[in-house]
Chains A and B, each alone.
Chain A
Amino acid sequence: MEASIEISLTVNGVALSRRVEPRTSLVDFLRYELELTGSHVGCEHGVCGACTVRVDGAIARACLMLAVQADGSVVETIEGLAATGEVFDLQQAFAEENALQCGFCTPGMLLTAQDLLSRAPEAGPEEIREALSGNYCRCTGYHAMVEAIRKTSRARVKGSA
């Protein structure tokens, strides 16, 4: 057993410190240590996108970062984005468009979609599909998600006009 290391970081707006084993991934840290179970563990090698979180403002695979690497960082998970209302309209649109079934991939999808819309508020279907290509869904398929994201995009653009 390698010695644990103390890290300090901000998760969903809360500053905290913990001791972690170096081999603990960021997503396991979030789930087991902080009990933030909204970030899901699918493949553990960066392929499925279910563990997507925001680290210092940029989306990242939380299974491909070690918790020790997040020392000093600002981490945001689906719990944080939902609590602040940042993705409320996206969540609503996913529900209305039947863009989720089992819900396993949904947190990662929402993080990815929110990242896209923050960079490209008027993203078209091709851009949306490309952005979602790094996230797997095994139930409802992707079409309804593309529709939900387009719907959100239109509403936000209209709202800010």
Chain B
Amino acid sequence: MKPVPFAYHRPASLEEALALLERYGSDGRILAGGQSLVPALNMRLAAPAALIDINRLAGLDGIGLAPEGLVIGALARHVDVEASPLVLRHARPIALAMPHVGHRAIRTRGTIGGSVALADPATELPACLLALDARIRVVGPGTRREIAAQRFFRGIYTTDLGSGEMVTAVVVPPGQETWTSRFVELARRHGDYALVGLAAHGRVENGIAKDMRLAFCGVGATPIRAARAEARLLGRALDPGVCAEAVGALDSDLDPPGDVHASPALRRHLARVLLARVLAGIG
């Protein structure tokens, strides 16, 4: 199908983009990489009055180190994030997850800011941001704030973004360079949406888990930290018994939905399989 007609704006500055957002309110949509928005337009699932194309805004696509951590600009394309040595070093779960995000021809256009703002709970990057304890930097009319990833994702396609606000960057706190990271997922076909995915990121010293963050995608309305499973691992040696306890605790952490792709029981099972595999590889 073809989209419903809309007005098109290509603001030259952030201020202009924010003014357009304010002008159109909920009838305006920001166009970044377009890899999720344009399908929605084509299928007429979305019919905004106006698109605000931010692709030409300068200074929003950088990836750089700052005192507050690794700052990944909202317009950084997936292929550039995937190839970045800084991301590999300071935000390893993201680097590991990137090959699972769509396909190459999608990743050349898709942006990290777009993935974050869309907040599709089946996708990889929101889970990675939870595992990294990252913050989302947003600007709005006269406001500038940062929101912890844990609070940013509120529900399916629902975030903490207020009216007139837009994502400008993702900030990964420093000090996680030496952590151990894994990203694993199970999908029917490479590049498809994951039935279940897991970003595991932890500080493991002499076989003891000093920190452990287990963030799942595809198992709820938001990416989900498996707090009870994490608690079973903290301060303990990752031996088979401890790992089995953590895997067992997943059932109380996750209450996955069922759909045409997988039943709740299958998703629970796959989550256990993924966690067991990851822990066996780390311990």
- On A, residues with C-beta under 8 Å from B are 1-3, 5, 21-23, 25, 28, 44-46, 49, 52, 55, 58-61, 63-66, 68-69, 112, 115-116, 130-131, 133-134
Query: Which of A25, A58, A64, A130 interacts with B79 by CB under 8 Å?
Result: A58
Closest partner residue, chain B, to A21 (CB atom): B5
| Residues of chain B within 8 A of A49, CB atoms compared | 103, 105
Counted as pairs of residues, one from A and one from B, with CB atoms less than 8 Å apart, the total is 92
Q: A46-B106, A65-B38 are in contact. List 8 more A-B contacts (CB 8 A).
A: A2-B5, A3-B7, A22-B8, A60-B105, A60-B108, A64-B106, A65-B109, A131-B104
Cβ of A64 and Cβ of B35 under 8 Å apart?
yes
Minimum CB–CB distance for A89 against chain B, Å: 21
Q: How far is the CA of A7 from the CA of B147 in the complex (A)?
A: 38
- Cα–Cα, bound, A151→B70 (Å): 43
- Assess the B39–A112 pair: CB atoms within 8 A: no
Q: Judge whether B4 is part of the interface by a CB distance below 8 angstroms.
A: yes
Contacts of A116 in B (CB 8 A): 104
Please, how many angstroms separate the alpha-carbon atoms of A66 and B33 in the complex? 11
**In chain B, what residue has the closest Cβ to A116?**
B104
By the criterion CB–CB under 8 Å, are A61 and B105 in contact? yes
Nearest to A49 among chain B residues (CB) is B105
**Judging by beta carbons under 8 Å apart, are A68 and B8 in contact?**
yes
- With A23-B3, A25-B42, A134-B104 in contact, is A60–B109 under 8 Å at CB? yes
Interface string of B1-34 (1 = CB under 8 A from A): 1111111101000000000000000000001001
What chain A residues lie within 8 Å of B2 (beta carbons)? 23, 25, 28
Q: Is B34 a contact partner of A64 (Cβ separation < 8 A)?
A: yes
Say whether B104 contacts A112, CB under 8 Å: yes
With contact pairs A44-B1, A49-B103, A68-B8 given, residues A59 and B108 touching in the complex (Cβ less than 8 Å): yes
The answer to whether A134 and B105 touch across the interface, beta carbons within 8 angstroms, is yes
User: Does B55 interact with chain A (Cβ within 8 Å)?
Assistant: yes
By a CB distance below 8 angstroms, the chain B residues around A131 are: 104
Take A63-B42, A69-B55 as given contacts and tell me if A112 and B105 are in contact as well, using a CB distance cutoff of 8 Å: yes
Partner of B108, one of A21, A28, A58, A68: A58
Chain B 36-56 interface 0/1 with A at a Cβ cutoff of 8 Å (1 = within): 001101110000000101010
Q: Which of B6, B104, B106, B189 is A2 in contact with, Cβ under 8 Å?
A: B6
Q: In the complex, what distance in Å separates the CA atom of A63 from the CA atom of B55?
A: 17
Residue B144, interface by CB 8 Å:
no
Who on chain B is nearest to A56 by CB? B108
| B106 CB contact (under 8 Å) in A5, A61, A66, A130 | A61
Q: A46-B35, A112-B104 are in contact. Are A61 and B109 (CB under 8 A)?
A: yes
- Return the chain A residue nearest B53 by Cβ: A69
User: Least Cβ distance of B49 to chain A in Å?
Assistant: 9
> A46 near B39 (CB under 8 angstroms)?
yes
Q: Among the listed A23, A52, A66, A112, which residue makes an inter-chain contact with B34, where contact means beta carbons less than 8 Å apart?
A: A66
9 cross-chain pairs, A with B, having the tightest CB-CB distances, nearest first: A134-B103, A22-B8, A45-B39, A58-B108, A133-B190, A23-B3, A64-B38, A59-B105, A44-B42
| Cβ-neighbour of A46 out of B3, B38, B51 (below 8 A) | B38
How near does chain B come to A55, taking the closest CB pair, in angstroms? Answer: 8
B64 to chain A, nearest CB (A): 22
Given contacts A5-B8, A22-B6, A66-B8, contact A134 B38 (CB under 8 A): no
Query: Are A65's CB and B34's CB within 8 A?
Result: yes
